[in-house]
Amino acid sequence: MMGMVKALNLGGWDALAMNFRCCSGEPNKTIRMYHSGDTEDIHEVVSFVAASGKYKTICLVGFSLGGNVVLKYLGEKGSDLNPAVKAAVAISVPCDLKGCAMRLEEPSNRIYARRFLRLLFDKIAAKARQFPDRVTVKDYESIKTLKEFDDRYTAPLHEFVDAEDYYRRSSSKPFLSSISVPTLLINAADDPFLSDSCYPEREAVASAFLLLEIPSHGGHCGFMSFGKRGLYWSEQRTVSFLNNAVPT
């Protein structure tokens, strides 16, 4: 996030960096956390910035889960999107959540899945301390996959029936056809987390607004480059796209 802010600032843009609930180092006060399809908070931020009267142009940039939220938000709003929002960039996006969950269960990704579960434990433990009557970390070590985590925590805490319902309703892929502003989606071909279903080539071809780029390399949010003042390739590409997409 800080690298993208630096790149945008160097490109002449102001930037606001948004942390999801429970991701700022301080737990939020409600039992609700964040999830891949939660667009309410980003809508609140966009509305607040637009209402300030300081900016006539707002562009959105999201990474990974945040990229899914950005794409879903744009598609949900469609032609009702705040007119200040002119363009967007989404990077390394799991736009089909079920496909990604299955991908992370593959043996080659177990080290990543275990790391995710360790990081999520801290967030759930904080919730258990806040709401001991509703959240428990008892037998947490029995959870071996992200789907099991989503079944036990994400779904019930956010009013989904189960993980399958969460994945179906929160994936951005079904919303891509309704995007109404220039939007760049960058998913590397060698991203270890993304299933084949996360490369929406048909949707991009059919859309007048969605541009899909699939670099051969870059992994998951790892589009490193050298020179150019320490900027990643993805950061340079984002600034270039936004400068071209938004009339000056």
- As annotated, the active-site residues are 64, 191, 220
CB distance 78 to 178 below 8 Å: yes
CB distance 127 to 33 below 8 Å: yes
- Which distant-in-sequence residues (6+ apart) come within 8 Å of 65 by Cβ? 20, 36, 94
Q: Are strands 85-91 and 58-63 parallel, antiparallel or unpaired?
A: parallel
39: which 2 tokens? Answer: 């667009």
Residue type, 232: Y
CB distance 85 to 245 below 8 Å: no
Whole-angstrom CA distances from 20 to 64, 206, 221, 234 are 13, 31, 18, 22
Output Rg (C-alpha) for the chain, integer angstroms: 18
Residue type, 130: Q
